[in-house]
Amino acid sequence: MMSVLFFIHKLFQYIYKLKPNLFSTMLLTLLSFVGFTVLVAVISYLATRKTNENSSDGYFLGGRSLTAGVIAGSLLLTNLSTEQLVGLNSDAYTDGLSVMAWETLAAIAIVITAIFLLPRYLKGGLTTVPQFLAERFDVTTKTITSGLFLTGYVVVLLPVILYSGSVAISGMFNVPENLGISHTASIWLCVWGIGIIGGIYAVFGGLKAVVVSDSINAIGLLIGGILIPVFGLMYIGDGSIIDGLSILTTENPEKFNSMGTKTDSVPFSTIFTGMMLVNLFYWGTNQQIIQRALGAKNLAEGQKGLLLASFIKILGPLILVLPGIIAFHIFEGKIDSSSAYPLLVGKVLPDYLVGFFAAVLFGAILSSFNSVLNSSVTLFGLDIYKQHINPEASETKVVKNGKIFGIVLALAAMFIAPFIANAGSLFGYLQEVNGIYSIPIFSVIIIGFLTKRVPAIAAKVGIISGSLLYIISQFLMKPYFVSSALEKAEAAGVTSADALAVVEADAYPHFLHVMAILCVVNSLIMLAIGKIKPRETAFEQKYTEQVEIKPYKYVNQIGIVICLIVVAIYVYFAN
Protein backbone atom coordinates (compact mmCIF):
# COMPACT_ATOMS: atom_id res chain seq x y z
CA MET A 1 0.00 0.00 0.00
CA MET A 2 2.81 2.42 0.93
CA SER A 3 4.60 1.64 -2.35
CA VAL A 4 1.43 2.49 -4.32
CA LEU A 5 1.05 5.80 -2.47
CA PHE A 6 4.74 6.57 -3.08
CA PHE A 7 4.32 5.87 -6.82
CA ILE A 8 1.24 8.15 -7.02
CA HIS A 9 3.13 10.88 -5.15
CA LYS A 10 6.07 10.66 -7.57
CA LEU A 11 3.71 10.64 -10.56
CA PHE A 12 2.11 13.88 -9.42
CA GLN A 13 5.56 15.41 -8.87
CA TYR A 14 6.49 14.51 -12.45
CA ILE A 15 3.26 15.93 -13.90
CA TYR A 16 3.70 19.09 -11.83
CA LYS A 17 7.06 19.83 -13.49
CA LEU A 18 5.86 19.43 -17.10
CA LYS A 19 5.66 22.67 -19.12
CA PRO A 20 4.16 22.11 -22.61
CA ASN A 21 4.16 24.94 -25.14
CA LEU A 22 1.20 27.30 -25.45
CA PHE A 23 -0.19 25.92 -28.76
CA SER A 24 -0.11 22.32 -27.56
CA THR A 25 -1.74 23.38 -24.30
CA MET A 26 -4.62 25.13 -26.06
CA LEU A 27 -5.15 22.20 -28.43
CA LEU A 28 -5.04 19.65 -25.60
CA THR A 29 -7.43 21.77 -23.54
CA LEU A 30 -9.97 21.86 -26.36
CA LEU A 31 -9.60 18.18 -27.27
CA SER A 32 -9.86 16.95 -23.68
CA PHE A 33 -12.96 19.08 -23.09
CA VAL A 34 -14.75 17.96 -26.26
CA GLY A 35 -13.54 14.37 -25.96
CA PHE A 36 -14.76 13.81 -22.43
CA THR A 37 -18.08 15.55 -23.11
CA VAL A 38 -18.73 13.47 -26.26
CA LEU A 39 -17.73 10.28 -24.43
CA VAL A 40 -20.41 10.91 -21.80
CA ALA A 41 -23.05 11.57 -24.48
CA VAL A 42 -22.21 8.40 -26.45
CA ILE A 43 -22.21 6.12 -23.41
CA SER A 44 -25.50 7.64 -22.21
CA TYR A 45 -27.08 6.98 -25.61
CA LEU A 46 -25.86 3.38 -25.77
CA ALA A 47 -27.06 2.68 -22.22
CA THR A 48 -30.56 4.09 -22.75
CA ARG A 49 -31.48 3.31 -26.36
CA LYS A 50 -33.41 0.15 -25.37
CA THR A 51 -35.32 1.71 -22.46
CA ASN A 52 -39.07 2.02 -23.07
CA GLU A 53 -39.68 5.71 -22.39
CA ASN A 54 -43.29 5.84 -23.53
CA SER A 55 -44.42 4.73 -20.07
CA SER A 56 -44.29 6.73 -16.85
CA ASP A 57 -41.94 4.27 -15.16
CA GLY A 58 -39.70 4.08 -18.23
CA TYR A 59 -39.36 7.83 -18.68
CA PHE A 60 -39.60 9.18 -15.14
CA LEU A 61 -37.87 6.33 -13.25
CA GLY A 62 -35.64 4.69 -15.88
CA GLY A 63 -37.90 1.64 -15.96
CA ARG A 64 -37.23 1.05 -12.24
CA SER A 65 -33.98 -0.61 -13.27
CA LEU A 66 -31.32 1.54 -11.61
CA THR A 67 -28.53 -0.17 -9.71
CA ALA A 68 -26.42 1.00 -6.77
CA GLY A 69 -23.54 2.44 -8.81
CA VAL A 70 -25.60 4.70 -11.05
CA ILE A 71 -27.82 5.77 -8.12
CA ALA A 72 -24.78 6.80 -6.05
CA GLY A 73 -23.10 8.56 -8.98
CA SER A 74 -26.22 10.45 -9.95
CA LEU A 75 -26.95 11.48 -6.35
CA LEU A 76 -23.45 12.89 -5.92
CA LEU A 77 -23.29 14.78 -9.19
CA THR A 78 -26.84 16.10 -8.91
CA ASN A 79 -25.75 17.59 -5.59
CA LEU A 80 -22.46 19.03 -6.86
CA SER A 81 -22.31 22.08 -9.11
CA THR A 82 -20.69 25.47 -9.38
CA GLU A 83 -22.75 26.89 -6.51
CA GLN A 84 -21.02 24.45 -4.17
CA LEU A 85 -17.57 24.35 -5.72
CA VAL A 86 -17.36 28.13 -5.65
CA GLY A 87 -19.74 28.92 -2.77
CA LEU A 88 -18.70 26.40 -0.14
CA ASN A 89 -15.00 26.94 -0.81
CA SER A 90 -15.69 30.66 -0.47
CA ASP A 91 -17.12 30.02 3.01
CA ALA A 92 -14.14 27.80 3.85
CA TYR A 93 -11.79 30.62 2.78
CA THR A 94 -13.48 32.81 5.40
CA ASP A 95 -14.52 30.39 8.15
CA GLY A 96 -12.36 27.31 7.69
CA LEU A 97 -13.33 23.71 8.39
CA SER A 98 -16.55 24.47 10.27
CA VAL A 99 -18.47 24.74 6.98
CA MET A 100 -17.87 21.02 6.35
CA ALA A 101 -21.17 20.45 8.20
CA TRP A 102 -22.99 20.82 4.88
CA GLU A 103 -21.11 17.73 3.65
CA THR A 104 -20.50 15.54 6.70
CA LEU A 105 -24.01 15.92 8.15
CA ALA A 106 -25.36 15.00 4.72
CA ALA A 107 -23.80 11.54 5.18
CA ILE A 108 -25.93 10.93 8.27
CA ALA A 109 -29.04 12.27 6.53
CA ILE A 110 -28.51 9.86 3.61
CA VAL A 111 -28.16 6.94 6.04
CA ILE A 112 -31.48 7.89 7.69
CA THR A 113 -33.07 8.11 4.24
CA ALA A 114 -31.78 4.64 3.33
CA ILE A 115 -33.02 3.01 6.53
CA PHE A 116 -36.24 4.89 7.27
CA LEU A 117 -37.65 6.68 4.19
CA LEU A 118 -36.67 4.64 1.12
CA PRO A 119 -38.40 1.39 2.27
CA ARG A 120 -41.66 3.33 2.64
CA TYR A 121 -41.28 5.06 -0.72
CA LEU A 122 -40.63 1.80 -2.60
CA LYS A 123 -43.34 -0.07 -0.69
CA GLY A 124 -45.86 2.42 -2.04
CA GLY A 125 -44.39 2.28 -5.56
CA LEU A 126 -43.97 6.06 -5.51
CA THR A 127 -42.83 8.03 -8.55
CA THR A 128 -42.92 11.41 -6.79
CA VAL A 129 -42.76 12.40 -3.13
CA PRO A 130 -46.02 14.40 -3.37
CA GLN A 131 -47.69 11.18 -4.56
CA PHE A 132 -47.33 9.86 -1.01
CA LEU A 133 -49.09 12.95 0.31
CA ALA A 134 -52.05 12.22 -1.98
CA GLU A 135 -52.33 8.74 -0.53
CA ARG A 136 -51.77 9.80 3.07
CA PHE A 137 -53.81 13.03 3.03
CA ASP A 138 -55.55 14.06 -0.21
CA VAL A 139 -54.96 15.24 -3.78
CA THR A 140 -55.09 18.93 -2.84
CA THR A 141 -52.19 18.48 -0.41
CA LYS A 142 -50.19 16.80 -3.16
CA THR A 143 -50.96 19.58 -5.64
CA ILE A 144 -49.95 22.33 -3.20
CA THR A 145 -46.67 20.51 -2.50
CA SER A 146 -45.92 19.94 -6.18
CA GLY A 147 -46.65 23.59 -6.84
CA LEU A 148 -44.20 24.65 -4.11
CA PHE A 149 -41.52 22.35 -5.50
CA LEU A 150 -42.01 23.66 -9.04
CA THR A 151 -42.01 27.28 -7.87
CA GLY A 152 -38.73 26.77 -6.04
CA TYR A 153 -37.19 25.01 -9.03
CA VAL A 154 -38.34 27.53 -11.65
CA VAL A 155 -37.82 30.78 -9.75
CA VAL A 156 -34.59 29.94 -7.95
CA LEU A 157 -32.75 26.75 -8.86
CA LEU A 158 -32.79 26.53 -12.66
CA PRO A 159 -31.82 30.16 -13.40
CA VAL A 160 -29.17 30.19 -10.66
CA ILE A 161 -27.62 26.93 -11.89
CA LEU A 162 -27.49 28.23 -15.47
CA TYR A 163 -26.07 31.61 -14.51
CA SER A 164 -23.41 30.39 -12.07
CA GLY A 165 -22.36 27.65 -14.47
CA SER A 166 -22.11 30.09 -17.34
CA VAL A 167 -19.93 32.44 -15.30
CA ALA A 168 -17.56 29.55 -14.51
CA ILE A 169 -17.33 28.25 -18.09
CA SER A 170 -17.03 31.74 -19.58
CA GLY A 171 -14.21 32.57 -17.18
CA MET A 172 -12.40 29.26 -17.56
CA PHE A 173 -12.27 29.51 -21.37
CA ASN A 174 -12.00 33.31 -21.37
CA VAL A 175 -14.92 33.42 -23.83
CA PRO A 176 -15.22 37.25 -24.10
CA GLU A 177 -11.59 37.70 -25.16
CA ASN A 178 -11.32 34.62 -27.38
CA LEU A 179 -14.56 35.37 -29.27
CA GLY A 180 -14.27 39.15 -29.14
CA ILE A 181 -17.63 39.63 -27.43
CA SER A 182 -18.79 41.38 -24.26
CA HIS A 183 -19.07 39.67 -20.89
CA THR A 184 -22.87 39.87 -21.07
CA ALA A 185 -22.92 38.29 -24.52
CA SER A 186 -20.65 35.48 -23.32
CA ILE A 187 -23.04 34.75 -20.46
CA TRP A 188 -25.99 34.56 -22.86
CA LEU A 189 -23.98 32.24 -25.13
CA CYS A 190 -22.96 29.90 -22.32
CA VAL A 191 -26.45 29.92 -20.75
CA TRP A 192 -28.03 28.78 -23.99
CA GLY A 193 -25.31 26.22 -24.68
CA ILE A 194 -25.68 24.62 -21.26
CA GLY A 195 -29.46 24.92 -21.35
CA ILE A 196 -29.88 23.27 -24.75
CA ILE A 197 -27.54 20.34 -23.99
CA GLY A 198 -29.00 19.85 -20.51
CA GLY A 199 -32.52 20.07 -21.90
CA ILE A 200 -31.80 17.36 -24.48
CA TYR A 201 -30.51 15.01 -21.76
CA ALA A 202 -33.39 15.65 -19.38
CA VAL A 203 -36.39 16.15 -21.67
CA PHE A 204 -35.68 13.67 -24.45
CA GLY A 205 -33.60 11.12 -22.55
CA GLY A 206 -35.60 10.70 -19.37
CA LEU A 207 -34.22 9.80 -15.96
CA LYS A 208 -32.02 6.93 -17.15
CA ALA A 209 -30.10 9.20 -19.54
CA VAL A 210 -29.64 11.66 -16.69
CA VAL A 211 -28.34 9.13 -14.18
CA VAL A 212 -26.03 7.35 -16.65
CA SER A 213 -24.40 10.63 -17.68
CA ASP A 214 -24.28 11.64 -14.02
CA SER A 215 -22.45 8.44 -13.06
CA ILE A 216 -19.73 8.94 -15.66
CA ASN A 217 -19.36 12.61 -14.80
CA ALA A 218 -19.25 11.74 -11.10
CA ILE A 219 -16.07 9.75 -11.68
CA GLY A 220 -14.56 12.65 -13.59
CA LEU A 221 -15.65 15.15 -10.96
CA LEU A 222 -14.09 13.12 -8.14
CA ILE A 223 -10.82 12.90 -10.08
CA GLY A 224 -10.87 16.53 -11.24
CA GLY A 225 -12.08 17.85 -7.91
CA ILE A 226 -9.32 16.10 -5.98
CA LEU A 227 -6.68 17.41 -8.40
CA ILE A 228 -7.24 20.98 -7.17
CA PRO A 229 -6.24 20.38 -3.51
CA VAL A 230 -3.50 17.96 -4.64
CA PHE A 231 -1.82 20.54 -6.88
CA GLY A 232 -2.62 23.24 -4.31
CA LEU A 233 -0.71 21.37 -1.61
CA MET A 234 2.12 20.70 -4.03
CA TYR A 235 2.25 24.43 -4.79
CA ILE A 236 2.55 25.20 -1.07
CA GLY A 237 5.06 22.39 -0.48
CA ASP A 238 7.20 23.12 -3.55
CA GLY A 239 6.20 19.87 -5.26
CA SER A 240 5.52 17.80 -2.11
CA ILE A 241 1.95 17.04 -1.02
CA ILE A 242 3.07 16.01 2.46
CA ASP A 243 5.17 19.13 3.01
CA GLY A 244 2.35 21.30 1.68
CA LEU A 245 -0.15 19.80 4.13
CA SER A 246 2.29 20.22 7.00
CA ILE A 247 2.85 23.90 6.17
CA LEU A 248 -0.87 24.53 5.70
CA THR A 249 -1.91 23.05 9.05
CA THR A 250 1.03 24.53 10.96
CA GLU A 251 0.59 28.09 9.71
CA ASN A 252 -3.22 28.14 9.70
CA PRO A 253 -4.35 26.08 12.74
CA GLU A 254 -7.44 28.26 13.25
CA LYS A 255 -8.80 27.12 9.89
CA PHE A 256 -8.85 23.46 10.97
CA ASN A 257 -11.47 23.76 13.70
CA SER A 258 -14.73 21.84 13.26
CA MET A 259 -16.45 23.99 15.93
CA GLY A 260 -17.89 27.03 14.14
CA THR A 261 -18.29 30.24 16.16
CA LYS A 262 -21.55 32.21 16.26
CA THR A 263 -20.25 34.61 13.59
CA ASP A 264 -19.34 31.77 11.20
CA SER A 265 -21.73 30.86 8.40
CA VAL A 266 -22.31 27.54 10.21
CA PRO A 267 -22.21 27.98 14.01
CA PHE A 268 -21.55 24.64 15.73
CA SER A 269 -24.91 24.68 17.52
CA THR A 270 -26.81 24.67 14.20
CA ILE A 271 -25.69 21.13 13.35
CA PHE A 272 -28.02 19.89 16.09
CA THR A 273 -31.01 21.91 14.86
CA GLY A 274 -31.78 23.17 11.35
CA MET A 275 -28.67 21.81 9.64
CA MET A 276 -29.80 18.22 10.10
CA LEU A 277 -33.37 19.09 9.07
CA VAL A 278 -32.18 20.83 5.88
CA ASN A 279 -30.05 17.80 5.00
CA LEU A 280 -32.92 15.39 5.72
CA PHE A 281 -35.22 17.41 3.50
CA TYR A 282 -32.67 17.65 0.72
CA TRP A 283 -31.58 14.01 0.68
CA GLY A 284 -34.80 12.37 1.84
CA THR A 285 -37.73 14.33 0.40
CA ASN A 286 -36.45 16.66 -2.34
CA GLN A 287 -37.81 15.30 -5.63
CA GLN A 288 -34.71 16.15 -7.70
CA ILE A 289 -32.56 14.02 -5.36
CA ILE A 290 -34.72 11.16 -4.12
CA GLN A 291 -36.03 10.43 -7.64
CA ARG A 292 -32.77 8.58 -8.31
CA ALA A 293 -33.42 6.15 -5.47
CA LEU A 294 -37.10 5.81 -6.44
CA GLY A 295 -35.89 4.35 -9.75
CA ALA A 296 -34.01 1.51 -8.00
CA LYS A 297 -34.62 -2.02 -9.31
CA ASN A 298 -35.24 -3.13 -5.69
CA LEU A 299 -34.86 -1.84 -2.15
CA ALA A 300 -31.47 -3.49 -1.59
CA GLU A 301 -29.96 -1.77 -4.66
CA GLY A 302 -31.47 1.55 -3.61
CA GLN A 303 -30.06 1.25 -0.09
CA LYS A 304 -26.62 0.23 -1.35
CA GLY A 305 -26.61 3.20 -3.70
CA LEU A 306 -27.53 5.58 -0.88
CA LEU A 307 -24.92 4.10 1.47
CA LEU A 308 -22.21 4.37 -1.19
CA ALA A 309 -23.15 8.00 -1.80
CA SER A 310 -23.15 8.60 1.96
CA PHE A 311 -19.64 7.23 2.38
CA ILE A 312 -18.25 9.24 -0.52
CA LYS A 313 -20.01 12.32 0.87
CA ILE A 314 -17.74 12.13 3.93
CA LEU A 315 -14.86 12.82 1.55
CA GLY A 316 -16.68 15.88 0.19
CA PRO A 317 -14.69 18.41 2.27
CA LEU A 318 -11.54 17.42 0.33
CA ILE A 319 -13.14 18.94 -2.78
CA LEU A 320 -15.47 21.55 -1.31
CA VAL A 321 -13.66 22.84 1.79
CA LEU A 322 -9.90 22.13 1.65
CA PRO A 323 -9.34 24.18 -1.55
CA GLY A 324 -10.83 27.24 0.17
CA ILE A 325 -8.35 26.90 3.05
CA ILE A 326 -5.49 26.37 0.59
CA ALA A 327 -6.56 29.54 -1.23
CA PHE A 328 -6.55 31.47 2.06
CA HIS A 329 -2.94 30.42 2.63
CA ILE A 330 -1.70 31.05 -0.92
CA PHE A 331 -3.40 34.44 -1.32
CA GLU A 332 -2.76 35.37 2.33
CA GLY A 333 -6.40 36.24 2.90
CA LYS A 334 -6.11 39.30 0.64
CA ILE A 335 -8.64 38.43 -2.08
CA ASP A 336 -12.42 38.44 -2.17
CA SER A 337 -13.67 35.09 -0.86
CA SER A 338 -16.03 34.55 -3.82
CA SER A 339 -12.99 34.55 -6.14
CA ALA A 340 -11.01 32.06 -4.04
CA TYR A 341 -11.80 28.86 -5.94
CA PRO A 342 -11.55 30.18 -9.54
CA LEU A 343 -8.28 31.97 -8.75
CA LEU A 344 -6.89 28.87 -7.04
CA VAL A 345 -7.69 26.72 -10.08
CA GLY A 346 -5.90 29.18 -12.34
CA LYS A 347 -2.96 29.39 -9.97
CA VAL A 348 -2.18 25.72 -9.28
CA LEU A 349 -3.71 23.59 -12.05
CA PRO A 350 -1.35 22.89 -15.01
CA ASP A 351 -2.65 24.41 -18.23
CA TYR A 352 -2.94 21.07 -20.02
CA LEU A 353 -5.42 19.80 -17.38
CA VAL A 354 -7.75 22.77 -17.70
CA GLY A 355 -9.74 21.13 -20.52
CA PHE A 356 -10.41 17.99 -18.52
CA PHE A 357 -11.41 19.98 -15.45
CA ALA A 358 -13.63 22.25 -17.55
CA ALA A 359 -15.35 19.17 -19.03
CA VAL A 360 -15.91 17.78 -15.54
CA LEU A 361 -17.24 21.11 -14.32
CA PHE A 362 -19.44 21.34 -17.40
CA GLY A 363 -20.80 17.89 -16.53
CA ALA A 364 -21.54 19.01 -12.98
CA ILE A 365 -23.41 22.07 -14.23
CA LEU A 366 -25.37 19.97 -16.73
CA SER A 367 -26.17 17.41 -14.06
CA SER A 368 -27.71 19.90 -11.67
CA PHE A 369 -29.64 21.57 -14.49
CA ASN A 370 -31.00 18.44 -16.14
CA SER A 371 -31.77 16.79 -12.79
CA VAL A 372 -33.91 19.71 -11.64
CA LEU A 373 -35.52 19.90 -15.09
CA ASN A 374 -36.27 16.18 -15.17
CA SER A 375 -37.82 16.34 -11.69
CA SER A 376 -39.91 19.33 -12.74
CA VAL A 377 -41.18 17.40 -15.77
CA THR A 378 -42.03 14.47 -13.50
CA LEU A 379 -43.94 16.63 -11.02
CA PHE A 380 -45.88 18.38 -13.77
CA GLY A 381 -46.66 15.27 -15.81
CA LEU A 382 -47.86 13.06 -12.97
CA ASP A 383 -49.04 15.44 -10.26
CA ILE A 384 -50.60 18.23 -12.31
CA TYR A 385 -51.30 17.19 -15.93
CA LYS A 386 -52.48 13.65 -15.21
CA GLN A 387 -54.24 14.66 -12.00
CA HIS A 388 -56.01 17.88 -12.98
CA ILE A 389 -55.69 18.68 -16.70
CA ASN A 390 -56.33 15.33 -18.40
CA PRO A 391 -57.09 12.48 -15.97
CA GLU A 392 -57.94 10.13 -18.86
CA ALA A 393 -54.61 10.68 -20.64
CA SER A 394 -52.62 7.61 -21.64
CA GLU A 395 -49.10 7.16 -20.28
CA THR A 396 -47.69 8.05 -23.70
CA LYS A 397 -49.62 11.32 -23.67
CA VAL A 398 -48.53 12.12 -20.11
CA VAL A 399 -44.88 11.67 -21.12
CA LYS A 400 -45.38 13.72 -24.30
CA ASN A 401 -46.96 16.66 -22.47
CA GLY A 402 -44.37 16.40 -19.71
CA LYS A 403 -41.67 16.81 -22.37
CA ILE A 404 -43.44 19.86 -23.82
CA PHE A 405 -43.58 21.39 -20.34
CA GLY A 406 -39.87 20.63 -19.90
CA ILE A 407 -39.01 22.42 -23.14
CA VAL A 408 -41.01 25.49 -22.09
CA LEU A 409 -39.42 25.41 -18.62
CA ALA A 410 -35.90 25.14 -20.06
CA LEU A 411 -36.52 28.04 -22.44
CA ALA A 412 -37.93 30.19 -19.62
CA ALA A 413 -34.89 29.44 -17.44
CA MET A 414 -32.53 30.29 -20.30
CA PHE A 415 -34.22 33.66 -20.81
CA ILE A 416 -34.25 34.46 -17.07
CA ALA A 417 -30.74 33.25 -16.13
CA PRO A 418 -28.65 36.12 -17.61
CA PHE A 419 -30.63 38.64 -15.58
CA ILE A 420 -29.55 36.92 -12.33
CA ALA A 421 -26.51 39.22 -12.52
CA ASN A 422 -28.82 42.04 -11.40
CA ALA A 423 -30.38 40.07 -8.55
CA GLY A 424 -28.00 41.40 -5.89
CA SER A 425 -27.85 39.12 -2.87
CA LEU A 426 -29.67 36.15 -4.43
CA PHE A 427 -26.70 33.81 -4.15
CA GLY A 428 -26.01 34.71 -0.52
CA TYR A 429 -29.61 34.06 0.49
CA LEU A 430 -30.18 30.95 -1.65
CA GLN A 431 -30.15 28.50 1.27
CA GLU A 432 -32.24 30.86 3.35
CA VAL A 433 -34.84 31.39 0.61
CA ASN A 434 -35.23 27.64 0.11
CA GLY A 435 -36.52 27.43 3.69
CA ILE A 436 -39.82 28.94 2.50
CA TYR A 437 -40.83 25.56 1.11
CA SER A 438 -38.29 23.01 2.42
CA ILE A 439 -39.20 22.88 6.11
CA PRO A 440 -43.01 23.03 5.68
CA ILE A 441 -42.90 20.17 3.16
CA PHE A 442 -40.50 18.14 5.29
CA SER A 443 -42.62 18.50 8.44
CA VAL A 444 -45.78 17.43 6.60
CA ILE A 445 -44.07 14.34 5.13
CA ILE A 446 -42.65 13.27 8.50
CA ILE A 447 -46.00 13.73 10.26
CA GLY A 448 -47.57 11.73 7.44
CA PHE A 449 -45.20 8.82 8.04
CA LEU A 450 -45.21 8.90 11.85
CA THR A 451 -48.96 9.27 12.44
CA LYS A 452 -52.05 7.48 11.14
CA ARG A 453 -54.95 9.78 12.05
CA VAL A 454 -53.72 13.34 11.39
CA PRO A 455 -56.19 14.59 8.72
CA ALA A 456 -55.67 16.30 5.38
CA ILE A 457 -56.72 19.72 6.69
CA ALA A 458 -53.79 19.58 9.13
CA ALA A 459 -51.32 19.03 6.26
CA LYS A 460 -52.72 21.97 4.31
CA VAL A 461 -52.52 24.22 7.37
CA GLY A 462 -48.99 22.97 8.08
CA ILE A 463 -47.68 23.75 4.59
CA ILE A 464 -49.30 27.20 4.38
CA SER A 465 -48.55 28.28 7.96
CA GLY A 466 -44.97 27.00 7.75
CA SER A 467 -44.28 29.05 4.63
CA LEU A 468 -45.95 32.20 5.95
CA LEU A 469 -44.27 32.05 9.37
CA TYR A 470 -40.85 31.59 7.76
CA ILE A 471 -41.40 34.54 5.40
CA ILE A 472 -42.49 36.75 8.32
CA SER A 473 -39.51 35.65 10.40
CA GLN A 474 -36.73 36.00 7.84
CA PHE A 475 -37.90 38.81 5.61
CA LEU A 476 -39.81 41.06 8.03
CA MET A 477 -38.70 40.44 11.62
CA LYS A 478 -35.02 39.64 11.02
CA PRO A 479 -34.20 42.84 9.03
CA TYR A 480 -35.94 44.94 11.67
CA PHE A 481 -34.10 43.43 14.66
CA VAL A 482 -30.71 43.35 12.90
CA SER A 483 -30.89 46.96 11.69
CA SER A 484 -32.03 48.15 15.14
CA ALA A 485 -29.17 46.34 16.86
CA LEU A 486 -26.58 47.69 14.44
CA GLU A 487 -27.88 51.25 14.81
CA LYS A 488 -27.61 51.02 18.60
CA ALA A 489 -24.09 49.55 18.36
CA GLU A 490 -22.88 52.27 16.03
CA ALA A 491 -24.47 54.94 18.23
CA ALA A 492 -22.52 53.46 21.15
CA GLY A 493 -19.26 53.84 19.23
CA VAL A 494 -18.85 50.27 17.97
CA THR A 495 -17.14 50.49 14.58
CA SER A 496 -14.94 47.43 14.05
CA ALA A 497 -16.20 44.86 11.55
CA ASP A 498 -15.65 41.93 13.96
CA ALA A 499 -17.62 43.62 16.75
CA LEU A 500 -20.47 44.51 14.41
CA ALA A 501 -20.56 40.91 13.16
CA VAL A 502 -21.04 39.72 16.75
CA VAL A 503 -23.83 42.29 17.25
CA GLU A 504 -25.56 41.08 14.09
CA ALA A 505 -25.23 37.43 15.11
CA ASP A 506 -26.74 38.17 18.54
CA ALA A 507 -29.60 40.29 17.16
CA TYR A 508 -31.62 37.44 15.69
CA PRO A 509 -31.43 33.60 15.67
CA HIS A 510 -29.52 31.98 12.83
CA PHE A 511 -31.85 30.93 10.00
CA LEU A 512 -31.05 27.26 10.65
CA HIS A 513 -32.28 27.65 14.24
CA VAL A 514 -35.41 29.36 12.92
CA MET A 515 -36.02 26.41 10.60
CA ALA A 516 -35.81 23.98 13.51
CA ILE A 517 -38.14 26.08 15.67
CA LEU A 518 -40.74 26.39 12.90
CA CYS A 519 -40.51 22.67 12.09
CA VAL A 520 -41.45 21.90 15.71
CA VAL A 521 -44.20 24.55 15.68
CA ASN A 522 -45.53 23.19 12.39
CA SER A 523 -45.59 19.64 13.72
CA LEU A 524 -47.36 20.67 16.94
CA ILE A 525 -50.02 22.54 14.93
CA MET A 526 -50.69 19.46 12.81
CA LEU A 527 -50.73 17.12 15.81
CA ALA A 528 -53.14 19.44 17.63
CA ILE A 529 -55.51 19.45 14.65
CA GLY A 530 -55.20 15.67 14.51
CA LYS A 531 -56.13 15.45 18.17
CA ILE A 532 -59.17 17.71 17.78
CA LYS A 533 -60.39 16.35 14.45
CA PRO A 534 -58.72 13.01 13.61
CA ARG A 535 -59.25 10.94 10.46
CA GLU A 536 -62.18 8.57 10.63
CA THR A 537 -59.96 5.62 9.68
CA ALA A 538 -56.28 5.03 10.37
CA PHE A 539 -53.96 5.28 7.35
CA GLU A 540 -52.27 2.05 6.25
CA GLN A 541 -49.73 2.09 3.45
CA LYS A 542 -50.25 -0.70 0.93
CA TYR A 543 -47.48 -2.68 -0.74
CA THR A 544 -47.86 -2.16 -4.51
CA GLU A 545 -45.31 -4.88 -5.40
CA GLN A 546 -43.68 -2.59 -7.98
CA VAL A 547 -40.26 -3.70 -6.76
CA GLU A 548 -38.94 -6.15 -4.19
CA ILE A 549 -38.59 -4.46 -0.79
CA LYS A 550 -36.26 -6.90 0.95
CA PRO A 551 -33.66 -4.63 2.60
CA TYR A 552 -29.92 -4.87 2.12
CA LYS A 553 -28.78 -7.14 4.94
CA TYR A 554 -25.94 -4.90 6.09
CA VAL A 555 -27.75 -1.56 5.82
CA ASN A 556 -27.92 -0.96 9.60
CA GLN A 557 -24.33 -1.98 10.32
CA ILE A 558 -22.84 0.10 7.49
CA GLY A 559 -25.09 3.03 8.42
CA ILE A 560 -23.83 2.97 12.01
CA VAL A 561 -20.18 2.83 10.85
CA ILE A 562 -20.71 5.87 8.59
CA CYS A 563 -22.30 7.85 11.45
CA LEU A 564 -19.43 6.95 13.79
CA ILE A 565 -16.88 8.11 11.18
CA VAL A 566 -18.64 11.50 10.99
CA VAL A 567 -18.58 11.85 14.79
CA ALA A 568 -14.90 10.85 14.86
CA ILE A 569 -14.05 13.54 12.29
CA TYR A 570 -15.72 16.21 14.41
CA VAL A 571 -13.97 15.04 17.58
CA TYR A 572 -10.57 14.88 15.87
CA PHE A 573 -10.79 18.44 14.53
CA ALA A 574 -12.43 19.96 17.62
CA ASN A 575 -10.22 22.73 19.07
Q: What is the number of other CB atoms lying within 10 angstroms of the CB of residue 248? A: 23
- pTM of the entire predicted model: 0.79
* 335-345 per-position pLDDT tens digit: 877 778 877 88
Q: Is the pLDDT of residue 534 over 50?
A: yes
Average pLDDT over residues 233-257: 93
* 82-123 per-position pLDDT tens digit: 777 877 888 899 899 999 998 899 999 999 999 999 999 888
* Residue 25 within a domain: yes
Q: Which of 231-240, 293-302, 366-375 is least confident?
A: 366-375
Backbone angles phi, psi at 298, to 5 degrees: -160, 170
The answer to whether residues 417 and 437 belong to one domain is no
The answer to whether residues 28 and 103 belong to one domain is yes
Q: What is the number of other CB atoms lying within 10 angstroms of the CB of residue 561? A: 13
The answer to whether residues 326 and 457 belong to one domain is no
* Residue 4 within a domain: no
Q: What is the number of other CB atoms lying within 10 angstroms of the CB of residue 193? A: 16
State the DSSP H helix or E strand holding residue 150, giving kind and residue range, or none if neither: helix 139-152
Q: Check: CB of residue 303 under 8 Å from CB of residue 114.
A: yes
State the Cα–Cα distance between residues 242 and 227, nearest whole angstrom.
Answer: 15
* Residue 134 within a domain: yes
Residues forming beta bridges with residue 298, ordered by sequence position: 548
CATH no. for residue 177? 1.20.1730.10
* Residue 139 within a domain: yes
Residues forming beta bridges with residue 66, ordered by sequence position: 296
Backbone angles phi, psi at 124, to 5 degrees: -85, 0
Q: In whole numbers, what is the pLDDT of the chain averaged over residues?
A: 80
Q: What is the number of other CB atoms lying within 10 angstroms of the CB of residue 398? A: 22
Domain limits at 415? 13-424+545-572
Sign (positive/negative) of CA torsion 165, 169, 174, 178?
negative
The answer to whether residues 93 and 185 belong to one domain is yes
How does residue 523 score in pLDDT terms, banded at 50, 70 and 90?
very high
* 196-234 per-position pLDDT tens digit: 876 666 555 544 555 566 666 667 777 878 889 999 999
The answer to whether residues 524 and 555 belong to one domain is no
* Residue 225 within a domain: yes
* Residue 8 within a domain: no
The answer to whether residues 385 and 481 belong to one domain is no
* Residue 319 within a domain: yes
**H-helix segments, 315-394:** 316-320, 322-330, 340-348, 354-378
Note the pLDDT of residue 160: 78
The answer to whether residues 393 and 465 belong to one domain is no
The answer to whether residues 520 and 537 belong to one domain is yes
420: closest CA among 113, 42, 164? 164
The answer to whether residues 539 and 551 belong to one domain is no
The answer to whether residues 94 and 162 belong to one domain is yes
User: What is the tally of structural domains in the chain?
Assistant: 2
Cα within 13 Å of Cα(438), Cβ side:
25
The answer to whether residues 483 and 336 belong to one domain is no
The answer to whether residues 473 and 535 belong to one domain is yes
* Residue 7 within a domain: no
Task: Give the 3-state secondary structure of residue 153.
Answer: helix
